[in-house]
Amino acid sequence: MSFANKVKFALWVYPRTMKDVEVHFKGDNCKSQSEFIEKAIKFYIGYLDEEKGVNYISPMITETVKAQIKGTEQRLARLLFKIAVELGKLSHMLAAANDVDDETLRQLHIMCVNEVRKINGIIDYEDAVEYQRE
């Protein structure tokens, strides 16, 4: 933009504001205080326009995040189903191979529930082997 296209008008500001302009305009690579003030006005207008855009963008972001969470939830559910099937197969194989009485099975269930609570669900095969050897 050339200087000829600019509009001159009166600007009333507090002395402290003018002092801030004097201190900062060169640090912002502005050639004049007027350029600095114009740049500040454009920045503020952009800020105001952006607030309007947030009302449009925010629901879009929310929907995108919800879709991502739903997709992750579905993948986890499928993986848990596959793990449950494998665990069921293992349980049936062990039951067929071992003759375990009802009382031993009940105590094993209680022990496993307590262990899983204690370790917060993080099962370590090596620890189980070590426990069984004791």
- 82 in a structural domain: no
Q: Environment class of residue 77 by beta-carbon count within 10 Å: exposed (0-12), middle (13-18) or buried (19+)? A: exposed
- 113 in a structural domain: yes
- 133 in a structural domain: yes
- 117 in a structural domain: yes
For residue 115, what are its two tokens?
Answer: 């262990």
Residue 39's closest CA among 52, 26, 51, 50?
Answer: 26
Q: Quick one: pLDDT at residue 55?
A: 67
The count of domains in the chain is 1
- 93 in a structural domain: no
Give the structural domain span for 118: 100-134
- 134 in a structural domain: yes
- 107 in a structural domain: yes
* One pLDDT digit (tens) per residue for the chain, 134 residues: 566 788 888 999 999 999 999 999 999 999 999 999 999 999 888 888 877 766 667 777 888 899 899 999 999 999 999 999 998 898 888 888 888 888 988 898 898 888 888 887 777 778 778 878 88
Q: How far apart are CA 58 and CA 20, in angstroms?
A: 35
- Do residues 39 and 29 lie in contact, with contact meaning Cβ atoms separated by under 8 Å? no
Q: Is the pTM of this model over 0.85?
A: no
- 91 in a structural domain: no
